[in-house]
Amino acid sequence: MLKAFFKWYYNFSGWKLGNRLPEGLKKCVMVVAPHTSGWDFIYGMGANLHLELNATYLAKKELFKWPFKKMFLTLGGVPVDRGKKNKMTEAMVEYINTHEIATIVFPAEGTRKRVTKWKRGFYHVALGANVPIVLAYIDYKEKKAGIGPSFMPSGDIEKDFKIIAEFYKNITARNPENFAVPE
Determine whether 88 is exposed, middle or buried from the number of CB atoms within 10 Å of its CB (0-12, 13-18, 19+): middle
Between CA 34 and CA 78, with CA 48 as vertex, the angle to 5 degrees is 80
- Rounded Cα distance, 19 and 118, in Å: 24
Instruction: Give the pLDDT score at 83.
Output: 67
Average pLDDT by stretches of 10, the chain with 183 residues: 88 94 94 92 90 86 91 87 75 91 85 79 96 97 96 97 96 93 85
Rounded to a whole number, what is the largest CA-CA distance in the chain?
A: 44
pTM of the predicted protein model: 0.89
Strands 133-139, 144-151: parallel, antiparallel or unpaired by DSSP? antiparallel
Torsion of CA 31, 132, 6, 18, to 10 degrees: 90
Instruction: Give the pLDDT score at 86.
Output: 67
Percent of the chain at pLDDT above 90? 60
> For all residues of the chain together, what is the average pLDDT?
90
At 81-120, the pLDDT tens digits run: 766 666 888 888 999 999 999 999 988 776 777 877 888 9
